[in-house]
Amino acid sequence: MTSPDPDGLLAEQLLRLTRRVHRIQKRHLEQRDLGITPAQSRLLRTLAHYASPPRMADLAQRLEVVPRAVTTLVDGLEKAGKVRRVPDPGNRRVIRIELTPDGRTALRELHRARRSAAEEILAPLTEPQRTVLGDLLDTLVDGAPIRDCDRASP
């Protein structure tokens, strides 16, 4: 008789949670009627992290997608008035992508949608459970285990 695979179970739970998070975020986005896909949302959030308008190649690299995918996303966002293509002041052959005022407004709404989705997902947890989950997620994201001596004493 073989014992259950705890890592396999954890992996499946993580995948199920990820799918649930995506579904809930998508629903919250649709409720706000922004006309923005989850992929476009990700591009807008990424764009907002740049101090100055990036090139499409920079966005593709940061998003870990092929440049053609960024072109398609930018085309849709530009048509919706959320971003615009601007010439690079130092090299007129280079095009940069910048947020429009409408894009900044959409980003604020996207943030609210993500926040309300997170609240929905975390609603069943108590505050102590949320703290533990936060610690565990930090460990998984950072890739380094949290040792008891690393924690701040209460």
Length of the chain counted residue by residue = 154
- Please state the three-class secondary structure of the chain as a single string: CCCCCHHHHHHHHHHHHHHHHHHHHHHHHHHCCCCCCHHHHHHHHHHHCCCCCCEHHHHHHHHCCCHHHHHHHHHHHHHCCCEEEEECCCCCCCEEEEECHHHHHHHHHHHHHHHHHHHHHHCCCCHHHHHHHHHHHHHHHHCCCCCHHHCCCC
pLDDT, tens digit, 9 for 90 and up, residues 29-72: 888 888 888 899 999 999 999 999 999 999 999 999 999 999 99
Q: Which amino acid is at 42?
A: R
**Token pair recorded at residue 117:** 């989705």
Give the span between the Cα atoms of 141 and 144, in whole angstroms: 8
Taking the complete model, does pTM exceed 0.95, yes or no?
no
Question: How confident is the prediction along the chain (154 residues), in pLDDT tens digits per residue?
Answer: 555 666 788 889 999 999 999 899 888 888 888 888 889 999 999 999 999 999 999 999 999 999 999 999 999 999 999 999 999 989 989 999 999 999 999 999 999 988 999 999 999 999 999 999 999 999 988 886 655 545 544 4
